[in-house]
């Protein structure tokens, strides 16, 4: 199956980067939707998209990438349902899948298109089209959350992702995806925000190096999007936060109690986990 | 004042990198102490040091860099006290200063040499001479903890540091140093170890990207050294851990309670702190 017509809905960091990658690395024709006219203009001017998207583009799209927030993705499809055909493959790029895939699966059944969720494991601490770039996905993992989509559709999305620079692909259920993302992505964002709240933070210059930089990096958060993502995944995230709080409290108590042997045991445990992972 | 003779005690990551930087970027003569004959041999073979150090090298040293663990630094000076002269400048590179500077100040008075503490804000998650490199300090901050050393000695250490690639230098008291380091360096190491203890960690591949990588990086810890450093600074570190646990618990509760407004307020607070710092 040939992929020629791409529609990207929402030209933020991920949508903008997809548009730029399609235009740079493939000969697909890319049209884009965005509610901000200035963003559309910028995307046209730099060649990331060939035209502003309309109902006709949706009707002829091979793949539609929904790159809005979870609820907005569902609203967009709902509002444009009559434009989707049985040949349209719709995917989203949301960081949390249970909520959004439930909504989009229902709409797929109603509208007759094929839905297969995805999650490009790439990003930066910056937001918006101005931060987007064609090589954002270089070497990154492309997670597929098929939700019953046929393997031929998964394979098409996967091969398309590799053309955009992704380095690997894994496939799983929405539930398992969200549990892992609570740990790999959401928890680090919560840690970063809690970390920079220390009264020492504004004084760090000259007294900090890589450890400060790395832990605090993603505190530069888009709080509107991340609040929605955190709450869409609140059971799994609360569980990860509780596990983390318990483990950190154990380290805290060993420090406060001057318990050298136990502290060393706990830190060794951390090192051995990293070593076993070969990291 | 001219700096020609350098003695480095302990050729681990920091000591080895200092030796390599002195040999690469200056014409100083570097001799090195290490209890491991294989490390000494390796340092000689690659030209990081010109010779294995002895009492005579200590007696003729312009600057002695103590690069062992805090207690071991004090033992080394105590055991070689008769070799130090009134012209010797002794500095250490310990990550925590209150304990080590107290011990070395006493020895300086007894032995008649000049002590000025320092802390090169550079490192990696790897350890030992094999991880050392001449450019480790490029652009890093060189913290001075003078403890009463004359400004001429501080200036000499500072200018020497700039020759090794350091990009800036700040000066403070042992107490203030240790409070800031509890936040900028020790807390991130505790977070990294607690983070990788999640049962999800071994499954992360394919589901992780920069956030996982950055938070977990320093879990690859030298638990023997860091346990000593944590406990040498246990009052300040316990305080930072308590502040962090309180702030993270507030985020956890907002997630668990599905409190969208409060969660967004907390994440925004994190973002604004980073933004105000221009990061």
Residues A86 and A204 both lie in one domain = no
| Chain B residue nearest residue A126, CA to CA | B279
Interface contact B279, partner A, CB < 8 A: yes
Q: Do B243 and A198 touch (CB under 8 A)?
A: yes
Q: Do B245 and A241 touch (CB under 8 A)?
A: no
Residues (pLDDT < 70) of chain B are: 1
Q: Do B123 and A210 touch (CB under 8 A)?
A: yes
Residues from chain B contacting residue A276 (CB–CB below 8 Å): 202
User: Nearest Cβ partner of A245 from B181, B234, B252?
Assistant: B252
Cα gap A47→B21, rounded to integer Å:
47
> Closest approach of chain A CAs to the CA of B14, in angstroms?
14
DSSP secondary structure string, B113-143? -EE-EEEE----S--SGGG--TTTTTT-EEE
Residues A33 and A112 both lie in one domain = yes
Per-residue pLDDT of chain A (279 residues; tens, 9 = 90+): 679 999 999 999 999 999 999 999 999 999 999 999 999 999 999 999 999 999 999 999 999 999 999 999 999 999 999 999 999 999 999 999 999 999 999 999 999 999 999 999 998 878 899 999 999 999 999 999 999 999 999 999 999 999 999 999 999 999 999 999 999 999 999 999 999 999 999 999 999 999 999 999 999 999 998 999 999 999 999 999 999 999 999 999 999 999 999 999 999 999 999 999 998
CATH of the domain at B239: 1.10.3660.10
The last residue of a domain, from among B134, B150, B172: B172
Buried b (16+ CB within 10 A) or exposed e, A227-248: bbbbbbbbebbbbbbebbbebb
pLDDT in tens, B189-241: 999 999 999 999 999 999 999 999 999 999 999 999 899 999 999 999 999 99
Residues B77 and B211 both lie in one domain = no
User: Nearest Cα to B61, choosing from B32, B35, B100?
Assistant: B32
Interface contact A244, partner B, CB < 8 A: yes
Q: Do A188 and B207 touch (CB under 8 A)?
A: no
Residues A85 and A144 both lie in one domain = yes
Share of chain B residues as helix, strand and coil, in percent rounded to the nearest 5: 55, 15, 30
What share of chain B has pLDDT > 70, as a percent?
Answer: 100
- In contact, B236 and B99? CB cutoff 8 Å: no
Cα gap B184→A5, rounded to integer Å:
49
User: Nearest Cβ partner of A207 from B181, B230, B255?
Assistant: B181
User: Taking the model in full, what pTM does it have?
Assistant: 0.88
- Whether the CA torsion A230, A235, A237, A241 is positive or negative: it is positive
- In contact, A218 and A192? CB cutoff 8 Å: yes
Residues A230 and A127 both lie in one domain = no
Residues B34 and B152 both lie in one domain = yes
C-alpha count within 13 angstroms, C-beta hemisphere, residue A172: 22
Q: Which domain holds residue A54?
A: 5-172
The last residue of a domain, from among A143, A172, A201: A172
Residues from chain A contacting residue B223 (CB–CB below 8 Å): 264, 267-268, 270-271
User: Nearest Cα to A135, choosing from A270, A13, A21, A262?
Assistant: A21
pLDDT for the residue A127: 87
Residues in contact with A41: Cβ distance below 8 Å, sequence separation at least 6, in sequence order: none
Residues B66 and B149 both lie in one domain = yes
Residues B36 and B157 both lie in one domain = yes
Counted across chains A and B, CB pairs separated by less than 8 A come out at 307
> Closest approach of chain A CAs to the CA of B117, in angstroms?
14
The last residue of a domain, from among B172, B199, B234: B172
pLDDT for the residue B1: 61
pLDDT for the residue A1: 61
User: What Å distances lie between residue B87 and B37, B77, B84, B112, B226, CA to CA?
Assistant: 29, 15, 8, 9, 33
Residues A180 and A147 both lie in one domain = no
Residues B117 and B180 both lie in one domain = no
* Number of domains forming the structure of chain B: 2
Cα gap A101→A79, rounded to integer Å:
17
DSSP secondary structure string, A89-130? EEEE--S--HHHHHHHHHHHHHHT-EE-EEEE----S--SGG
User: Nearest Cβ partner of A219 from B204, B206, B271?
Assistant: B271
Q: Do A263 and B230 touch (CB under 8 A)?
A: yes
Interface contact A127, partner B, CB < 8 A: no
User: Nearest Cα to A198, choosing from A221, A216, A210?
Assistant: A216
Residues from chain B contacting residue A255 (CB–CB below 8 Å): 190, 230-231, 234, 237-238, 241
Query: Looking at the DSSP assignment, which residues form a beta bridge with residue B118?
Result: B144
A4 dihedral zone (left: phi>0; alpha: psi -120 to 50; beta): alpha
| Chain A residue nearest residue B209, CA to CA | A121
| Chain A residue nearest residue B258, CA to CA | A231
Residues A267 and A139 both lie in one domain = no
| Chain B residue nearest residue A230, CA to CA | B255
0.95 surpassed by complex ipTM: no
A19: DSSP letter = H
Residues A120 and A219 both lie in one domain = no
Cα gap B67→B30, rounded to integer Å:
14
Cα gap B252→B94, rounded to integer Å:
35
Q: Do B195 and A187 touch (CB under 8 A)?
A: yes
User: What Å distances lie between residue A140 and A96, A161, A162, A165, CA to CA?
Assistant: 17, 10, 10, 8
| Chain Cα centroid distance, residue B195 | 22
pLDDT for the residue B127: 87
Report the residue of B215, B218, B275 to disrupt the A interface, i.e. the one with the largest count of A CBs within 10 Å.
Answer: B215
CATH of the domain at B71: 3.40.50.720
């Amino acid at each position: 199956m040939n992929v020629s017509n791409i529609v990207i809905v929402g030209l933020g960091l991920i949508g903008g980067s997809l548009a730029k990658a399609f235009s740079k690395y493939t000969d697909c024709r890319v049209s884009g939707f965005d509610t901000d006219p200035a963003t559309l203009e910028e995307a046209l001017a730099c060649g990331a998209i060939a035209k502003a998207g309309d109902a006709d583009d949706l009707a002829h799209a091979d793949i539609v990438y929904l790159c809005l927030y979870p609820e907005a993705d569902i609203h967009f499809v709902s509002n444009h349902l009559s434009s989707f055909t049985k040949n349209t493959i719709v995917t989203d790029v949301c960081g949390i899948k249970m909520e959004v895939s439930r909504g989009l699966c229902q709409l797929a059944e109603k509208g007759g298109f094929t839905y297969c969720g995805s999650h490009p494991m790439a990003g930066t601490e910056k937001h918006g089209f101005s931060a987007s770039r064609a090589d954002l996905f270089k070497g990154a993992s492309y997670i597929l959350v098929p939700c019953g989509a046929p393997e031929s559709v998964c394979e098409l999305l996967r091969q398309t992702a590799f053309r955009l620079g992704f380095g690997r692909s894994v496939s799983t259920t929405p539930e398992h995806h969200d549990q892992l993302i609570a740990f790999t992505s959401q928890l680090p964002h919560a840690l970063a925000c809690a970390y920079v709240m220390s009264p020492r933070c504004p004084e760090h210059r000259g007294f900090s190096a890589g450890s400060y930089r790395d832990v605090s990096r993603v505190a530069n958060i888009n709080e509107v999007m991340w609040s929605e993502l955190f709450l869409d995944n609140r059971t799994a995230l609360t569980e990860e936060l509780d596990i983390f709080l318990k483990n950190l409290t154990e380290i805290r108590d060993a420090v406060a109690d001057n318990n050298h042997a136990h502290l060393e045991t706990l830190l060794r445990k951390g090192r051995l986990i990293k070593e076993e992972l070969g990291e």
